[in-house]
Amino acid sequence: METPPLKSVSLLRSRSKDRCLEFALVLLAMGIRCDLVYLDDEFDLKVYAEDADRAREQVRLYVQENKSRPNYSVPHFGVQEGLTCAWLYAIVILSVYVLQRDHLFAIEWEQLGMSQAGRVQAGEWWRVVTALSLHVDTAHLVSNLAFGFIFVFLAGEMLGWGLAWAGILLAGSFGNLLNAFVHAPNHASIGASTAIFAAVGILSACSWSRRRTRTNRWVPLGGGVALLAFIGLSGERTDIFAHIAGLGSGFLFGFGLGTLETYVSLSNWYRQAIGIAAILFFALAWVLALTA
């Protein structure tokens, strides 16, 4: 006897896609299945009937928390800072890809910059930095460019381009370092995806740190883990542990940045100076790779 299909019910109908997506993220983080449908100029957020009561309760708690959340000042840097950070990311990985693809200056950029576990373990630490800017082929580049532009933009908008760029670069590099020390010496990895998941982790952890009530405080972290499960744990050449390490490193740096915001008020000038220092650190890594 066949089991009848589960019936779905409408939880919210709204013309605001952002509002529906916000509630959908809440539900996904709590393990509640949902689906967003566009119908008659409205967005309809649907859940299975068996989950409806729990879904309504989670949405109610989330709305109540936002109404009762005390007013406090958090920095918000706007679209320009986000675009600066995102374009910096795009320019860096596109420039390095051209150098790598065309073997410019008769240099094997991939061989010199890849994160090879044995060499990293032997002390060539710069490889965990340079590997973030290398890619296997054009499809690999385009994928990381598309996803990365979005999350790097959001990080820049939240933290300012300088602090966001430094956090993503350092967390992504730390993720590669962890990845190198859990694999055999012949394991090699390249690609910006570790830094992309670091950006996701930073966004999630900073959002968590800025929440001042306990109800649904874990939603941003759950959303980051859910995103890793959706796009980071499959694919023929996916380095799964590198993605996990990137997200975990991003969480760690995000918690640190969130704590920093609580106790220290950094001016935009200091944030930009930190970003410039991170750019110089990235350049130093490549200088060491070319001269070691």
| Structural domains in the chain plus CATH codes | 8-68 (3.30.70.1530), 78-291 (1.20.1540.10)
pLDDT of residue 66: 67
Rounded to whole angstroms, how far apart are CA atoms 21 and 133? 32
pLDDT for res 125 = 96
Q: pLDDT category, 230, cuts 50, 70, 90?
A: very low
Q: How many CA atoms lie within 13 A of 220 on its CB side?
A: 19
pLDDT band at 86; cut points 50, 70, 90: very high
pLDDT at residue 218 tops 70: no
Q: pTM above the 0.85 mark?
A: no
User: Which of the listed ranges 9-13, 164-168, 206-210, 247-251 does the model predict with the highest average pLDDT?
Assistant: 164-168
Q: Which of 162, 195, 183 is nearest to 268 (CA)?
A: 162
